[in-house]
Amino acid sequence: MDKRYILGVDLGATNIKLGLLDRNRIILKQILPTKDFSSREELLSGLSQNLSRLLAKRKVSKKDVLGVGIGAPGPINSRKGIVHYFPNIKGWRNVPLKQIMQKKTGFPVFVDNDANLMCLAEARIGAARGRQNVVALTLGTGVGGGIVIEGKLYRGANLVAGEIGHIPLNETGPKCNCGGIACLERYIGNRYILKKAITVFGKDISLEKLTLLARQGNAQAKAVWQAAAMHLGICLSGIVNFLNPDAIVIGGGVANAGRLILDTVRKVIKTRAMSPQAKTVKILKAKLGNDAGILGAALLVKEGYV
Amino acid sequence: MDKRYILGVDLGATNIKLGLLDRNRIILKQILPTKDFSSREELLSGLSQNLSRLLAKRKVSKKDVLGVGIGAPGPINSRKGIVHYFPNIKGWRNVPLKQIMQKKTGFPVFVDNDANLMCLAEARIGAARGRQNVVALTLGTGVGGGIVIEGKLYRGANLVAGEIGHIPLNETGPKCNCGGIACLERYIGNRYILKKAITVFGKDISLEKLTLLARQGNAQAKAVWQAAAMHLGICLSGIVNFLNPDAIVIGGGVANAGRLILDTVRKVIKTRAMSPQAKTVKILKAKLGNDAGILGAALLVKEGYV
């Protein structure tokens, strides 16, 4: 293949990560703070300029570039490349991102939700490499998810499938931002774990500190993580029974708590899910970390998803 | 196509239903009580003889028959055509049903779980005809389910996907037969609804009577059905958010309560699920009734699923 280069973009509320890839390998990377751009127009022009600069730096000719992949938070019509809105970036409502960026860059552009792309990347070249039926979660402020079914990214009837964070964990409970009740996110979203930690350790605690304390053997800190992992494990037991996946990949900030979470999740699934499903499913820590977005965006281009 | 006839079998714990189909239409049907056969060997020989008899009755030549499809309850390896076991029929453990029946009948034989086949039939020619992403449930003693993804029956990593009945509805609660805790089936399986009805109406009540009473406007009877529908609706809200299906088809005995259940389920999903998903999903009453098993089994043959 002549066109061996791909540009991958991970458009986040805090940072915009840009990558130049030679096939599946990132050969150049750049990070721009999202708040440096005062408007959407400025952001997209800046993005386009910086993408050109990446190519120039490596002396990559435009004709050798297959296209640009963009992952972004929030509901996206991946078929049309339209961003419905971003939960944490203002000024985006029904933006035809694909169309705008194709005009600006001259390349074919593909756009999808960042959790979908993380799932795609982990299923193709990450922790669940080569597995056919994969569910991936990103644990952060929100709890996002993606689903790969029989090797293909599954998007659902109106392209918003994968909202693992909004599976109810109980019939009654706290109200969730999504309008639902007792959603998983309401138990294990960053702010709710932090809230619990604050009631135990006081205002000075952070999730990083909580992880550190737990690793050092602090029983109270371990208990906070274990409670979160219990919630997650119970929800995943339902997914395991229902979808019978080959693997579940857990990523995002909270996943840095690593084995503190994974061991408990595995134990809960083993105890509560049905035996054939529970024996088969691998619970894996995400492998691609902060690069997952760029890599997934590049895969989107490579596989020509529409 | 020369081979326009298909034999469909719905092998249940109470009855074995046999059908001769001309393309998608059942032209001859037969019902055999399962308990008339004292052993597995007798059952399979009897089945084979009765299938031949169906062909003879309609003067269908063997060479015009595409194959035999068999649906059965319990975990089945549809790829190999092996029945792992039946929850309610004794003497079946790792039975190579496909192989045995191919030898007995001389036709290609395809085998799958009955809830999968009900889902396939409803998605192809039933209530969800032509829809791409469909979840189907059968409400009965157990709560079974099937999943059609992008038009194809989805089976999962070890071919046991679709266990909607064993999605936990709460983190704590009653123990389920599957080993899990607070599974959906534990709230809306026939026996649990009946149990609740008995506490209200005494021992003489049946589910049919409960439905009748509710239809006649009895407030207590309506409340029992509404409570069941609430449980179901909450569980389905999670599936709607996670899988973003085009349609959910509800069938089986309890579904005969019809609108008593469906209206409440729809209301709960509208209230609790995320708006884009909730607006899209159609909650449909199964259309094929008792024929769904035979029709699904025939579709399995026609589509050459392996």
Give phi and psi for B258, each to the nearest 5: 55, -120
Residue to test with chain A: of B242, B244, B269, B284, most A Cβ within 10 A: B242
Stronger pLDDT, A74 or B264, i.e. the higher one: B264
Nearest of A216, A215, A212, A214 to residue A224 by alpha carbon: A214
Q: Is pLDDT of B58 > 80? A: yes
pLDDT at residue number A3: 84
Are B269 and B304 contacting, i.e. CB atoms less than 8 angstroms apart?
no
Q: Is pLDDT of B88 > 80? A: no
pLDDT at residue number B19: 98
pLDDT digits (tens, 9 = 90+) for A112-131: 999 999 999 999 999 999 99
Q: Is pLDDT of B20 > 60? A: yes
Contact B239 A242 (CB under 8 A): yes
A305: confidence class by pLDDT, cuts 50, 70, 90: low
pLDDT at residue number A306: 52
Q: Which residues of A touch B178 (CB under 8 A)?
A: 241, 274
Query: What is the rounded CA–CA span in Å between residue A193 and residue B92?
Result: 48
pLDDT at residue number B305: 65
Stronger pLDDT, B258 or B62, i.e. the higher one: B62
Query: What is the rounded CA–CA span in Å between residue B47 and residue B16?
Result: 9
Contact A155 B244 (CB under 8 A): yes
Q: 3-state secondary structure string, B223-263?
A: HHHHHHHHHHHHHHHHHHHHHCCCEEEEECHHHHHCHHHHH
Architecture of domain B130-287: 2-Layer Sandwich (3.30)
Beta strand B65-72 pairing with B5-11: parallel
Give me the residue from A154, A163, A238 closest to B149, CB to CB. Answer: A154
Amino acid at A87: P
B304: confidence class by pLDDT, cuts 50, 70, 90: confident
Extract the tokens encoding B137.
């449930």
CATH 3.30.420.40 domain range(s) in chain B: 5-117+291-302, 130-287
Nearest of A100, A48, A93, A91 to residue A75 by alpha carbon: A93
Give me the residue from B163, B271, B276 closest to A158, CB to CB. Answer: B276
Q: What is the pTM of this model?
A: 0.94
Give me the residue from A156, A179, A230 closest to B244, CB to CB. Answer: A156
Nearest of B123, B99, B174, B144 to residue B252 by alpha carbon: B144
Extract the tokens encoding A102.
């194709």
Q: Which residue of B has its CA nearest to A235?
A: B168
Mean per-residue pLDDT, A243-261: 86
Query: What is the rounded CA–CA span in Å between residue A141 and residue A86?
Result: 14
Contact A158 B273 (CB under 8 A): no
Beta strand A76-77 pairing with A5-11: unpaired
pLDDT digits (tens, 9 = 90+) for B137-170: 999 888 999 999 999 999 999 999 999 999 999 9
CATH 3.30.420.40 domain range(s) in chain A: 5-117+291-302, 129-286
Strand, coil or helix: what is A237?
A: helix
pLDDT digits (tens, 9 = 90+) for A129-147: 999 999 999 998 889 999 9
Query: What is the rounded CA–CA span in Å between residue A53 and residue B264?
Result: 57
Question: How far is C-alpha A165 from the chain's CA centre?
Answer: 12
Q: Which residue's entry shows tokens 């004709």? A: A63
Are B185 and B143 contacting, i.e. CB atoms less than 8 angstroms apart?
yes
Q: 3-state secondary structure string, B4-62?
A: CEEEEEEECCCEEEEEEEECCEEEEEEEEEHHHCCCHHHHHHHHHHHHHHHHHHCCCCH
Q: Which residues of A touch B76 (CB under 8 A)?
A: none
pLDDT digits (tens, 9 = 90+) for B176-212: 989 999 999 999 999 999 999 999 999 999 999 999 9
Residue to test with chain A: of B171, B175, B281, B306, most A Cβ within 10 A: B171
Are B72 and B114 contacting, i.e. CB atoms less than 8 angstroms apart?
yes
Q: Is pLDDT of B224 > 90? A: yes
Contact A242 B149 (CB under 8 A): no
Q: Is pLDDT of B1 > 60? A: no
Strand, coil or helix: what is A209?
A: helix
Q: Is pLDDT of B263 > 60? A: yes
Q: What percentage of chain B reaches a pLDDT higher than 90?
A: 87
Stronger pLDDT, B276 or B260, i.e. the higher one: B276
Q: Is pLDDT of A83 > 60? A: yes
Mean per-residue pLDDT, B20-34: 95
Are A140 and A257 contacting, i.e. CB atoms less than 8 angstroms apart?
no
pLDDT digits (tens, 9 = 90+) for B265-280: 999 999 999 999 999 9
Mean per-residue pLDDT, B49-70: 97
Euclidean distance between the first and the last CA atom of chain A, given in angstroms as a whole number: 21
Total residue length of chain B: 306
Beta strand B65-72 pairing with B76-77: unpaired
According to DSSP, the residues that pair with B77 across neighbouring strands are B82
Give me the residue from B167, B237, B246 closest to A238, CB to CB. Answer: B167
Contact B155 A244 (CB under 8 A): yes
Report chain B's mean pLDDT, rounded to a whole number: 94
Q: Torsion-angle region of residue B7: left (phi > 0), alpha (psi -120 to 50) or beta?
A: beta
A13: confidence class by pLDDT, cuts 50, 70, 90: confident
Q: Is pLDDT of A59 > 80? A: yes
Contact B180 A272 (CB under 8 A): yes
Beta strands in B119-260 (DSSP E): 134-139, 143-149, 152-154, 247-251
Euclidean distance between the first and the last CA atom of chain B, given in angstroms as a whole number: 21
Distances (CA, A) of A206 to A142, A188, A260, A266, A290: 17, 15, 16, 25, 20
Q: Which residue's entry shows tokens 């005809």? A: B129
Element spanning A279, H or E: helix A275-280
Contact A280 B157 (CB under 8 A): yes
Are A117 and A230 contacting, i.e. CB atoms less than 8 angstroms apart?
no
Report chain A's mean pLDDT, rounded to a whole number: 94
- Is CATH 3.30.420.40 the classification given to domain A5-117+291-302? yes
Give me the residue from A157, A168, A280 closest to B244, CB to CB. Answer: A157
Mean per-residue pLDDT, A196-220: 94
Q: Is pLDDT of B129 > 90? A: yes
Nearest of A8, A92, A2, A112 to residue A50 by alpha carbon: A8
CA B150 to chain A, closest CA, distance in angstroms equals 8
Q: Is pLDDT of A260 > 80? A: yes
Strand, coil or helix: what is A31?
A: strand
A179: confidence class by pLDDT, cuts 50, 70, 90: very high
pLDDT at residue number A89: 80
Mean per-residue pLDDT, B12-21: 94
- Is CATH 3.40.50.300 the classification given to domain A129-286? no
A1: confidence class by pLDDT, cuts 50, 70, 90: low
